[in-house]
A = this chain, B = another copy of it.
């Protein structure tokens, strides 16, 4: 099945808008009514596009709206986290029709985790009476650096055994019709905000994930920006403090080593042991371990040391984001990831540091806020990633 460049433009418009009338498409492409009619007929004959109802009248007859044929095929979105796995089946309009999530340990390696992905996807397809041969695209987000053109993880620090593993081939053995796209988890979250979240009409934005690590996804001129090797937005190893801690990457004072989840936990341990926080000392005694969540609870009960830890981490993250604001001049920064909700103090400290260290012109219209899709940014983004590439398979 082959699509002409013009047909591909039409499918892109429908994908981005969800539903579109013939006259919308004709206007956007600058086509005559006759050319438009011919183009759409071709797509409808192939079963790709169908009429789904009436739009608002612009004075005359109500226009018929076009959308993808939701029975034509499916895509699978996969969100692999360090300790969780989510899989969703969606139709060609991006509507999720079946979804499953479970706890996993990504360190079990690619064979085990991707075996689960295949199994869950097949089960979900059976649930909606569909076949693996009807899956035309996979979008997979993973918590490590990905060379986007090859879909390979490159030396991922928290994913032993995944380095260079052929994810595409592995999935392709079961889903032979599917084009498999792999991307870094935070890029996938940014794509989710861009396609179905609050980033929908934003031309330039940054999505920052604060969790076990710290990373960012970049939308530039309305499209995902991945850079030459797919490593764009990799801010975890920007230097946050020249006199700081040694990072697992070998450099000194990397943002990730100073302000991500494990760094917050380490600071909490120090505060508990030094006597700076009775609250944390009690938690440590009760649990034998401290995490960022304990610091979050400490803030809620007004613990001074907890407050100080989060404000300092927020300042370091904000200073790194100020570099991003200097360099990228986005109009929006979304803050997401498991550690981002430790307390509003974090967001406030981030905002302060960004404003202090950025030029006034760059912060004139800048908004900094929590991700609009919350924990669902990843799975929506994975579905969107699959959809962006699915028609290349259908050609």
Contacts and interface: CB of A to CB of B under 8 A. Distances in A.
A249 B327 contact: no
Interface stretch (A60-68, A91-99, A229-237): A229-237
Interface string A340-355: 0000000000000000
A361 B145 contact: yes
Kindly list the 9 A-B residue pairs having the minimum CB-CB distance in the complex, ordered from nearest: A227-B329, A5-B30, A228-B331, A232-B329, A231-B362, A231-B329, A231-B361, A220-B220, A154-B361
Contacts of A319: 239
A interface secondary structure, majority = loop
B229 A361 contact: yes
11 contacts: A227-B329, A227-B330, A228-B329, A232-B329, A233-B327, A237-B326, A237-B359, A238-B323, A239-B319, A241-B242, A323-B323
A203 interface: yes
Interface of A: 4-6, 29-30, 145, 147, 154-155, 203-204, 216, 218, 220-221, 223, 225-235, 237-239, 241-242, 249, 251, 319, 322-324, 326-331, 356-357, 359-362, 364-366
Contacts of A324: 327
Q: How many copies does the complex hold?
A: 2
Contact of A225 (B220, B234, B237, B356): B220
Contacts of A235: 326-327
Given A234-B359, A238-B326, A326-B238, A229 B365 contact: yes
Given A30-B6, A330-B227, A234 B323 contact: no
Nearest to A241: B242
Contacts of A216: 327
Most buried by B among A326, A357, A359, A364: A326
Most buried by B among A5, A226, A232, A366: A232
Given A228-B365, A239-B323, 12 more contacts: A4-B30, A155-B360, A155-B361, A226-B329, A229-B364, A230-B361, A231-B329, A231-B362, A237-B326, A239-B322, A242-B242, A251-B357
